[in-house]
């Protein structure tokens, strides 16, 4: 299947190692200094670009958290939008640290991950110049993104915008009973700058 130019461009924008150093230095009371890794993985290659993502505090890079899979696909609609579907790992420890150790991803298969059916976003591409784009997400439905892990229910709000060498994350953890945001982008987006490009690892 042929992937759209917009989808390939988005994959190139998102694939890399990022940090929010400038933001954390400017507003240390509200933003911790984080590293974010988004590495291509060879899953769903028949119709998708798929990324492994995890992040870590700069003072504790050896203990990354929030490992997840993002599957990016063309929506095949006249709007030209893209869908991103999120997956979780069945065994978090087996994949922990793969942002810095990509060899852990070489044996990854679809049997290692679990679909999160309510965790899907629509991505709308907007052309800024002849060769640059901006991609912004919006919820695909009103159903909150929820999942169960070790017998406990978690709810998150997911969202991001991406430009060349820059990505803003709006991800927040939500208390399911109250709907209150309890961690993440509580005071606005985390503003990440790409420090290392992983686009060469993409299959397209």
Domains of the chain: 5-201 (2.40.128.590)
Collect the ranges in the chain with pLDDT lower than 50. Answer: none
CA 130 to mean position of chain CA atoms: 26
23-37 burial string, b = 16+ CB within 10 Å, else e? bbeeeeeebeebbbb
Cα(86)–Cα(37) distance, rounded to whole angstroms?
Answer: 16
What pLDDT sits at residue 135? 97
Confidence at residue 86, expressed as pLDDT on a 0 to 100 scale: 98
Q: What is the pTM of this model?
A: 0.95
C-alpha distance from residue 149 to each of 88, 118, 119 (Å): 10, 15, 15
């Amino acid at each position: 299947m042929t992937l759209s130019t917009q989808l390939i461009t988005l994959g190139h924008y998102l694939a890399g190692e990022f940090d929010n150093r400038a933001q954390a230095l400017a507003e240390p009371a509200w933003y911790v200094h984080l590293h974010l890794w988004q590495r291509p993985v060879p899953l769903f290659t028949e119709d998708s670009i798929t990324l492994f993502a995890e992040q870590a505090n700069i003072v504790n890079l050896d203990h990354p958290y929030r490992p997840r899979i993002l599957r990016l696909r063309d929506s095949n609609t006249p709007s030209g939008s893209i869908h991103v579907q999120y997956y979780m790992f069945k065994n978090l420890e087996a994949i922990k640290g793969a942002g810095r150790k990509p060899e852990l991803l070489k044996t990854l298969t679809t049997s290692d991950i679990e679909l999160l059916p309510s965790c899907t976003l629509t991505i709308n591409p907007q052309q800024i110049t002849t060769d640059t784009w901006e991609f912004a997400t919006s919820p695909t439905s009103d159903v909150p993104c929820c999942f169960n892990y070790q017998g406990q229910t978690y709810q998150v709000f997911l969202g991001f915008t991406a430009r060349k060498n820059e990505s803003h994350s709006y991800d927040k953890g939500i208390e399911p009973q109250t709907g209150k945001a309890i961690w993440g982008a509580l005071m606005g987006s985390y503003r990440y700058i790409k420090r290392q490009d992983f686009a060469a690892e993409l299959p397209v």
